[in-house]
Structure 1
């Protein structure tokens, strides 16, 4: 499997993004390791095909959806089960939203074995934007789940599509403030399962119902570190402090309410607020790109500008999901491998980057893999999506979010 040298030849073999519902399997002339099946146009501008590729650990079977974002029928968005701290199967989220195709999204808070009595929240690692609405910020790098980050990347990295209908990799930085009559206090987290040490986090109705206690566990560099013993919680309703407590709670949050949770210095700042005091909670996610993102999901960057990133693992093979952008953001690629070791050997992250470049991506991210890896497609004539890959295990794993692709009249 070659790197960038085969990308354009593969595209040429595919007819430069033509849809080949009846064509013979496509294969790059100078890349015998990669074999792509004939394409199926699942909807205008949305092409699905399977593939096999020879890799370091053996033969790999996978599935690819290629999306033409210039097609006026195509739209994209983040799929999620109505709350940040909730999970559902990709096919269920896709069908509920009416998506034609979807791939699982970000890594998430799946386990809390090191914190007895603390339940995992199911919330994702990185930032999230759905239909232009900012849902959450990124946890500290040391609090993430998933493989070690490549140099120069962080939990703030995302893949998304802007209001200009162009896909891109970006980074989303939370800027937040708590305004009181006497001072401006920092806000360090938004609907996150981990608040930075000495920080303050805001939880809104978008969070869901799980306990917010997990947000006070670990440190910025060590996820397994003990939970903080210096915490405080303040409930702000209709712009005023309604209640305060040394205990961290859970349960649903009303739309007119924001719950503030502080740890260490952040807890001390919250203790200075009084019941009835006005507090204005301000927050936004700042992107590097100028064009606002319509949707965004956290992703682990593996390629930029047509080249794989340095420091990618080339040893451990696994079933994986990924997404990429190409043709100056006019194309979006969604990819997932079979997770059954009997039929697919898996790819290293380095090989995954090379594969995304081979099929036409310029920039790409690794998404959650293993038992989470799921690519759902609604084939022509079907009334629901099907997981076209074989997820690890006997059934789909519920996940917090997914990238959805839609075909509108």
Structure 2
């Protein structure tokens, strides 16, 4: 790359960068080719150079040094909210807003839940149809109802009995059992179905299922299959829908005609191998990466699918949640992408921040333009998009 840049008439420099080691991934040496150095007020000159490079067929972008993860003195602008479990008498809860399928702002979900404060939740699926992008990537339990399946082994926040919070790794097991005793695995919940998949849609879905040529069994609240239909319909209140494609569509036609159908859902704590009780006071939210475990920095980037320079080393706006030794909840946001005001944080920096704040366990939530903390239903930080982004779910503190 440096040779190509030099041949185009520019003077390159080669910078070695090290992607930090995670608990489950080694450090990786990488290299970056750089051209020129301008003050932030001279960005137009940097942009002009990038344009000239692209005209020569060289991929390039303008970059801000404060974002690259090298040592810095900041500045940082962050918000921290801590709950004292000895004095707090309210509760914690997660929310997907008015429906699973559609995205909403965190402040809108805050109003819906009558919350005191809250933050955006985990990652959501931007690689699906626009009408389905509110679907959380990872586990979601709201009021004891499983609304999105877990990514096995990914870190998650679990809330039980209103305000007992812990962080662990979860897996979900969902099984459809017909009245003739035949069983089969349900691969997904409230998301688009892949080939040869059985997916469950709950009444919280809030959208039309995909008309993908599959077959659907509509199940009433008593567990009876009230009809089979071609895929592509609403999920009415008091019902759920099993959506099958390929061989799973054939399975529905053979085992879900005029019969009962039970859908058994389990959420398993992978640390204890015990089932999480799905009661009306149970909530769970998937995180992006584990940051702190048993009071020590332990970044599980590979297990959580984020062992990359961009996610681990580069600075971005971040949202974090932690649990203190006494069981208190710690919420934090670090603003970023705002040179001279706040540079954001790397995953290593946010892990050390949460440990310094007293978190015994902590995880990273969705960041970037999604990062927001709301108090009194209003954002108290500066979202990097310039306004609140619509997201898949949120975590809230209620009276």
What TM-score does the superposition give when structure 1 sets the normalisation length? 0.68
Helix, strand or coil at the partner of 1:178:
strand
1:249 aligns with 2:232: yes
Checking the alignment, whether the CA contact within 8 Å between 2:191 and 2:199 is kept in structure 1 is no
Q: Which one has the largest radius of gyration? A: 2
- Equivalents in 2 of 1:63, 1:324: separation in Å? 14
Structure-2 residue corresponding to 1:302: 291
1:332 aligns with 2:332: no
Gaps of 5+ in 2: 1-68, 302-310
Structure-2 residue corresponding to 1:179: 177
- Equivalents in 2 of 1:294, 1:123: separation in Å? 19
Determine which of 205, 209, 223 is the counterpart of 1:239: 223
Give the CA deviation at 1:195: 5.0
1:137 aligns with 2:148: yes
1:104 aligns with 2:136: no
Alignment of 1:187-226 (within 5 A): 187-189=185-187, 191-195=189-193, 198-212=196-210
Determine which of 52, 65, 83 is the counterpart of 1:67: 83
Give the CA deviation at 1:340: 4.1
Structure-2 residue corresponding to 1:224: none
- Equivalents in 2 of 1:310, 1:259: separation in Å? 38
- Equivalents in 1 of 2:282, 2:70: separation in Å? 36
Helix, strand or coil at the partner of 2:77:
strand
Checking the alignment, whether the CA contact within 8 Å between 1:177 and 1:283 is kept in structure 2 is yes
Checking the alignment, whether the CA contact within 8 Å between 1:128 and 1:297 is kept in structure 2 is yes
- Equivalents in 1 of 2:210, 2:167: separation in Å? 30
Alignment of 1:265-284 (within 5 A): 265-273=247-255, 275-284=257-266
Q: Aligned pairs, how many?
A: 312
1:158 aligns with 2:156: yes
Helix, strand or coil at the partner of 1:271:
helix
Give the CA deviation at 1:167: 1.5
67-76 or 283-292, which moves further after superposition?
A: 283-292
Checking the alignment, whether the CA contact within 8 Å between 1:139 and 1:192 is kept in structure 2 is no
What TM-score does the superposition give when structure 2 sets the normalisation length? 0.70
Q: Deviations over 1:230-281 (max 9, x none)?
A: 8432223353333334x43143x22332211123443332231353233223
Helix, strand or coil at the partner of 1:346:
coil
Q: Deviations over 1:121-161 (max 9, x none)?
A: 31111222223x223232557xxxxxxxxxxx42xx31132
Q: Name the CA shift for 1:310/1:191 in 2 (closer, same or farther; >3 Å).
A: closer
Helix, strand or coil at the partner of 2:227:
strand
* CA RMSD across the alignment: 2.8
Q: Deviations over 1:155-201 (max 9, x none)?
A: xx311322173321123332333222322322324533255764322
1:85 aligns with 2:112: no
- Equivalents in 1 of 2:354, 2:197: separation in Å? 38
Structure-2 residue corresponding to 1:43: none
